[in-house]
């Protein structure tokens, strides 16, 4: 997919592994400048080797003060991908304060903080921008043992709309992508039982899970001017699951 303007600067939050890492690689291949933000430095070092010229920032995005220090003076950014998330399995009746606080800080509060920093920069520079957050199908349907994680993703839906409404007058678009299951380290935590994985796959009308490339393509589409009239919305990357 083409981004229709070279020389754009992108920031990817949660860039060390999985979908975030592949998004950095795709944006780099398309000629965008990339600031890759993640928590494990070895991931960022190996990513820099694969994508020469990218900038890396190593910070725990669940820590407000550390994030402010690390990203408060980040330069101009045209494209933002809020991809960071953590997932700890707990059924609703066993959900704890500690898991609630940490998961909301990492998955949701970081979206607010990083988006504020980037959007304020866009407004200051007077440039248009596009923000894409990686949400999930669990914003729409329940999945066993993911009570707190699902709440963060459900809240991202209304946050995406609020941001789209408030930032639209500054020509900043805000959208989400909502994948179901994508083979990464995170999904391995959920699909430990091969039989459950098989049955779940069968429930998808297309009889497959999405691949990382499918999610990255949807992110690139929403970042690009090809989706110019779209804001406050989202793309389901779910192999038809919600239709079933
Ligand atoms: P991974 O766990 O593979 O990668 C997540 C990345 O985010 C890692 O590099 C991780 O670093 C980083 N990260 C996590 N916590 C922090 C933090 N506090 N500060 C900075 N960086 C952090 O996840 P996926 O690629 O699978 O998921 C990416 C997004 O897609 C998430 O938002 C997830 O909720 C969503 N999603 C994934 C699905 C799937 O099936 N995989 C399905 C639906 C949605 P480190 O490893 O060092 O912690």
CB 20 within 8 A of CB 13: yes
Residue 169 falls within a domain, yes or no? yes
Residue nearest to atom 3 of ligand 1 (CA): 18
Max CA distance (Å), the chain: 52
**Which residues neighbour 23 within 8 Å (Cβ) at sequence distance 6 or greater?**
12, 15, 81, 83, 216, 219, 220
- pLDDT tens-digit readout, 128-164: 999 999 999 999 999 999 999 999 999 999 999 999 9
User: Could you tell me if the CB of 93 is within 6 A of ligand 1?
Assistant: no
Quickly count: other Cβ atoms within 10 Å of residue 102's Cβ: 15
Residue nearest to atom 31 of ligand 1 (CA): 85
Residue 97 falls within a domain, yes or no? yes
Residue 150 falls within a domain, yes or no? yes
User: Which residues are known to be catalytic?
Assistant: 149
Q: Would you give the DSSP letter of residue 52?
A: T
- pLDDT tens-digit readout, 40-52: 999 999 999 999 9
What's the confidence (pLDDT) of residue 5? 52
Domain of 20? 9-243
**Which residues neighbour 137 within 8 Å (Cβ) at sequence distance 6 or greater?**
143, 178, 179, 180, 236, 238, 241, 242
**Which residues neighbour 193 within 8 Å (Cβ) at sequence distance 6 or greater?**
none
Confidence of residue 1 (pLDDT cuts 50, 70, 90): very low
Q: How far is the CA of 87 from the centre of ligand 1 (A)?
A: 8
User: How much is the average pLDDT of 87-106?
Assistant: 97
Residue 219 falls within a domain, yes or no? yes
Q: What is the pTM of this model?
A: 0.97
Q: 120 pLDDT exceeds 70?
A: yes
CB 152 within 8 A of CB 107: yes
Percent of all residues in the chain with a pLDDT value above 90, rounded to a whole number: 89
Which residue's entry shows tokens 């928590």?
A: 39
Q: How far is the CA of 169 from the centre of ligand 1 (A)?
A: 31
Percent of all residues in the chain with a pLDDT value above 70, rounded to a whole number: 98
Q: 4 pLDDT exceeds 90?
A: no
Residue 1 falls within a domain, yes or no? no
Q: 3 pLDDT exceeds 80?
A: no
Q: Are strands 129-134 and 172-179 parallel, antiparallel or unpaired?
A: parallel
CB 181 within 8 A of CB 196: no
Q: Ligand 1: which of 23, 35, 37, 38 to mutate, judged by most atoms within 8 Å of the beta carbon?
A: 38
Instruction: Kindly report the length of the chain.
Output: 244
Residue 27 falls within a domain, yes or no? yes
Residue 4 falls within a domain, yes or no? no
What is the domain-level CATH number for residue 24? 3.40.50.720
What distances in angstroms separate CA 46 from CA 17, 26, 28, 53, 217, one per listed residue?
A: 10, 16, 14, 12, 23
User: Could you tell me if the CB of 234 is within 6 A of ligand 1?
Assistant: no
- pLDDT tens-digit readout, 158-212: 999 999 999 999 999 999 999 999 989 898 888 888 898 899 999 999 999 999 9
In the beta sheet, which residues pair with residue 177?
134, 235
Residue 220 falls within a domain, yes or no? yes
For the chain, how many structural domains are there in total? 1
User: Mean pLDDT in the chain?
Assistant: 95
- pLDDT tens-digit readout, 217-230: 999 999 999 999 99
User: Could you tell me if the CB of 211 is within 6 A of ligand 1?
Assistant: no
């Amino acid at each position: 997919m083409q981004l229709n303007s070279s020389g754009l600067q992108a920031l990817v939050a949660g860039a060390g592994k999985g979908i975030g890492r592949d998004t950095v690689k795709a944006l780099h291949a398309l000629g965008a400048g990339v600031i890759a933000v993640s928590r494990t430095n070895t991931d960022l070092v190996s990513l820099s080797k694969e994508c020469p010229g990218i900038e890396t920032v190593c910070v725990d995005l669940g820590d407000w003060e550390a994030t402010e220090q690390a990203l408060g003076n980040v330069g101009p950014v045209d494209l933002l991908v809020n991809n960071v998330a953590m997932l700890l399995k707990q059924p609703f009746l066993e959900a704890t304060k500690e898991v609630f606080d940490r998961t909301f800080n990492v998955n949701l509060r970081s979206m607010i903080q990083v988006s504020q920093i980037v959007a304020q920069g866009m407004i200051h520079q007077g440039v248009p921008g596009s923000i894409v957050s990686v949400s999930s199908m669990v914003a729409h349907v329940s999945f066993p043992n993911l009570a707190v994680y699902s709440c963060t993703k459900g809240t991202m839906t209304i946050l995406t709309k609020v941001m789209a409404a408030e930032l639209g007058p500054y020509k900043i678009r805000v959208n989400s992508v909502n994948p179901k299951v994508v083979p990464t380290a995170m999904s391995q935590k959920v699909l430990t039982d091969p039989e459950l994985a098989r049955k779940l796959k069968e429930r998808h009308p297309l009889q497959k899970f999405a691949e990382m490339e499918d999610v990255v393509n949807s992110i690139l589409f929403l970042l690009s001017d090809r989706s110019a009239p779209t804001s406050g919305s989202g793309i389901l990357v779910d192999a038809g699951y919600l239709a079933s």
